Structure formats: structure tokens, C-alpha cells
Amino acid sequence: MRPPRPTLGPRPGDQATDSPQDAARVVLAACAGEGFTLAGIAPVRASRWGEHLRNWLAAGRQGTMAYLGEALDVRLDPGRVLAGARAFVVVADRYAPRGDEDEVRSGVGRVARYARGKNYHDVVKRRLHRVADAMRERFPGSDFRTCVDTAPVPERELAALGGLGWIGKNTMLIHPRVGSYVVLGVMATTLDLTPATDQTPDHCGTCTRCIDACPTGAITPYSVDASRCVSYLTIERREVIPPDLHRGVGDWIFGCDVCQEVCPHNSVRVEAREGERGHGGVLEAYAPARRGFDLLGVLGWTEDDRRQAFRGSAMKRVTLGIMKRNALVAAGNAIERGDLDADAAAALRARIGAIAADAGEEDLVRSSARDVLARLEAWDARRPWP
């Protein structure tokens, strides 16, 4: 994967003679040719969420993600990401069809849908690079910078400005036909492009399903307390998960899809398949290679096991210790819920106990095992015995 291009601004040469409207059509056609589910043009302007972001950060809702407080000048004025930027091209890839259902299996920790196939960073960026390269040739003198989680730009806000959907109460981008199972890519450009003239109106209405279903109560209308979000807890947090949030983690060991699963805009609907790629318009690259992992198996992983399991996946950024921590919490929840047969529950309890007593385990894992054991002992003391 090539490194980001330097932000040097327009290069010498003949400027494009196409009108901004015609140039936009050319760029969007190139995006469609690369198979992106959605594409649009967003204007370069300051974020309207500046005050909200500052208040959110001041309240500590970013948790341990200190980087979200960095480069605020770019986050709030994304045109700074490329000198001379005049427009943003925003693309979306669908990674799961509407109505996608999970088979919940006892003793298995679930993985968020976006991470079940190939690493979306690679899949999106490779094609965005091809679009950028083609547009440099088509429009000499124009420059482009592609961003797929590699720059502090507000992707969802830009996507909404580009006509790709609205930002829902769970802060996810939602398209009225496609839903919210999408990943985004952004391309800043010095090329003058006519932006989308029609933004998608907010269709959330009075619905509060995502708020009501959030297992840790992290969602309020149009805001998420990341420090309580299960996706944050299982991916970004590098410390033990607070025991009072263990039950909310449920059987998730990487990410969480609950607020999207209950969203009416992700429900099953009859869709025209003409021109769509793969099942429900999903590229083959996102076909699930894994939906989850056996909890007892994860608790016995070596570093080589982790690397093999995460090969080509967006999950590879998560360490072995974090995965074991997550599996411990999910195992405790499975035992407490009574999802397992007696032998499976006994095997997990024995493994949790062994980890808690293993001086060779890293402190994160051993401390998490102790927290889970304490929870199970308290649960044993409360439940009625025959």
C-alpha cells in the first residue's frame, strides 16, 4: 500500500478546461467504474460540528483515544488536509446487505461485520488510488490526496454533504436504500468540482431503537459516549474493561453491530440487483472469512495464531492481549447466561482460572481473568441452587 501523497498543492501545467459540473461527472463515473456502492462530491467548508466536538472531548467521551483531540484545526476545517483543496470526493463500499442476520453460537465470540472480510482500508484505498491516478492524467495540474482512516477528516460529515446519506442518531451514516453497513473513503482534490446540491434529509424521525438497544447505554441522540461503546471497549481500549461494563459486551470480541442490527434502515427489503456486485451489492472482497472465533480457542492462542487468524483482516491492529481480554469477558458472559453445556462451561472456567494464576501472562490478560472470576463467584453466590 503506497504512502499518502505529500500535500504540495497543484503542480505546474495546463489547468483543466472542463466545467466543474462536467469534471464532477467524470470523477463520479470513475468511482462507479471501480465498483463503489456510492460516490458524491462534498464542498470544502468548516465543520458544523465544531462546538459539539469540543464539548464531547472536554467531557472525556473519547476515552483513551487521545489522538481525537489532536489536529483539531484539520478536523474542523478539513480543507487543510490538502493545500489548495476545492472539493472532496467521498465514496462508500457496502460490506453487508440489508437484513444480514447472525447465527449466534454458544461459546463463540462475534466479530463486527465490517471486519469479517478483507481489510477495507486496502480494498478502498487501492481503488481510490486508481481513480486519483486516472484523474491526474485526465486533469493535468490538479492534485489529489486519498484518505481511508489515514487523515483527521470528518468522513461521515463529508459523506452527508456529498449526498451519500444522513447521520443518524447512532452517529452512523445511513443511506435510505443501502442502509448503514458501509465503509467510507475520502479524496481531497484541487480540481474544481460541483458539489452535490441535494443532501439526504434525516429519516430517523422519532425512532429510538439504536438508543434503546445499545447494551452499555452509550448512545444519546446524535452522540455516542465512546468510552462506553462496545466497539471502543473491544478495539481501542488498551486497559482492562471496567467490570460494570462486562455484561454489555455480550458475546462481542471485536467491535459491535447492535445499533445497526436494530436500525429499520438495515431491515430486509426487496432491492433491484441490476448492476450490483456480489450478494446485495457487496463486493466479493467483503465476503465473510470469519464471523467469530471459538472463545476457548482464543484463550489458548499464541502470537502466531493471532497473526494467522487476522491475515488480510482489519482486525490485525488488535494485539493478542486485547483479544484474550475480550474473550475472557465474553466467556464470563456466556457462562453467566447459561448458554453453554456443562462440559463447555467447565472447560472455560478452568481456562479462566488458569490464566488468572499464570504469572507468564501479561498483566492485562491476568487482571481481566481475575475480574471475570470475581464476577462469576458473585453470580454463584446469588443464584439459587437445587
Largest CA distance in the chain: 85
Cβ 91 vs Cβ 128: under 8 Å: yes
Return the closest-CA partner of residue 254 out of 190, 318, 303, 169: 318
- Known active-site residue 149: yes
**Residue type for 35, please?**
G
Grid cell, residue 81, equals: 488536509
Gap between the Cα atoms of 173 and 265, Å rounded: 11
Gap between the Cα atoms of 124 and 146, Å rounded: 10
CA dihedral sign of residues 169, 173, 174, 180: negative
Which H or E run contains 214? none
Cβ 176 vs Cβ 165: under 8 Å: yes
User: Of the residues 77, 149, 192, 305, which is catalytic?
Assistant: 149
Return the closest-CA partner of residue 139 out of 7, 9, 26, 28: 26
Which H or E run contains 183? strand 182-189
CA dihedral sign of residues 120, 124, 125, 130: positive
Active site residues: 149
